[in-house]
A and B are shown apart, each in its own frame.
Chain A
């Protein structure tokens, strides 16, 4: 190897290592840009921003019934029952919507508005143990009183 070719060999040796690294860096930047663009376009899940507690399972199949008024306290939606109890409402996900403008929860398109009398199918209980084993889509906010709950049916 001549003196002239030595620097070229050094450069080649360096580039054998640096070129793949440069390619990886460029590819990573391109992927990050693509993901960022996808994130901007992906539909947001409005239920995650709602005050509703939502589980992953089927809507309650219990055949109890309860009447009262919907009451929003902070990030928690309760039912103030006609019996004088306040119960945290727990919903299924399928067919559920939260209408921020109307302050209403919609179940299969039917709106239940705050402060209006409502009647829900389902079943309730004292917690613990009522919430034991529940798999959450959106758990109750930390501030919610979960001592009494009502699993809403439809």
Chain B
């Protein structure tokens, strides 16, 4: 399986592995209409049915990972024009306001902007179970676009993973920094 493809009504971000060697794909937790049911047929990623394994869905996290038993995930993602290899990630602490960053989503495709804030607090209804913390990253840019179905998609620069797309506030886009996947005991597969 490759990432950056459609999964249900959303997009996949990066390939991950747990410490037992099982590989899978990331997407947003709020995309899961079958979480906890072990329904392995509802959500297709890159044409393969996937099963829910775990998620982080709370004040600072909105991510899940899923797998397909017969198709290991590859250390690359689709960026709108080609499969892009992943060489590493930048944590929340490393990413800085003013940095340029890009994303891909199945609706709006590829676009880029600059980080406006690392302390954005999503406040729309149902944004985070119990309410969101002020530690989300929000991006703006004249050519930046995000829309319905982009959730779960990758944020990146070159071959470095930055985060997983969550949503929007006006014309700005919001993502969860990639290092919060450690709450699921997985890491991003790299080449």
User: Does A associate with B in a complex?
Assistant: yes
Which residues of A approach B to under 8 Å, CB–CB?
Answer: 55-67, 81, 83-85, 87, 90, 92, 119, 121-126, 128-134, 148-151, 153
> Which of B12-20, B94-102, B167-175, B178-186 lies at the interface with chain A?
B167-175
Distance in angstroms from A129 CB to nearest chain B CB is: 4
Q: Which residues of A contact B9 (CB under 8 A)?
A: 64-67, 119
Residue of A nearest to B35 (CB): A126
Residue of A nearest to B150 (CB): A63
Residue of A nearest to B30 (CB): A123
Are B127's CB and A87's CB within 8 A? no
Are A62's CB and B28's CB within 8 A? yes
Are B126's CB and A149's CB within 8 A? yes
In the bound complex, how far is the Cα of B171 from the Cα of A130, in angstroms?
25
Query: Pick the contact of A55 from B33, B107, B125 — CB < 8 Å?
Result: B125
- Tally of chain B residues near chain A (CB < 8 A): 42
In the bound complex, how far is the Cα of B132 from the Cα of A87, in angstroms?
22
Distance in angstroms from B1 CB to nearest chain A CB is: 18
Q: Which residues of A contact B146 (CB under 8 A)?
A: 63
Are B129's CB and A64's CB within 8 A? no
Main SS class of interface, B: loop
Which residues of B approach A to under 8 Å, CB–CB?
Answer: 8-10, 28-36, 39, 42-43, 57-58, 62, 105, 107, 122-127, 129-131, 146-152, 165-169, 174
With A61-B169, A83-B43 given, is the CB distance from A125 to B32 under 8 Å? yes
In the bound complex, how far is the Cα of B46 from the Cα of A62, in angstroms?
22
In the bound complex, how far is the Cα of B125 from the Cα of A92, in angstroms?
7
Are B125's CB and A63's CB within 8 A? no
Q: Which residues of B contact A87 (CB under 8 A)?
A: 33
Q: Which residues of A contact B131 (CB under 8 A)?
A: 132-133
Are B151's CB and A66's CB within 8 A? no
With A85-B42, A125-B57, A126-B36 given, is the CB distance from A65 to B149 under 8 Å? yes
Q: Which residues of B contact A153 (CB under 8 A)?
A: 124, 148, 167
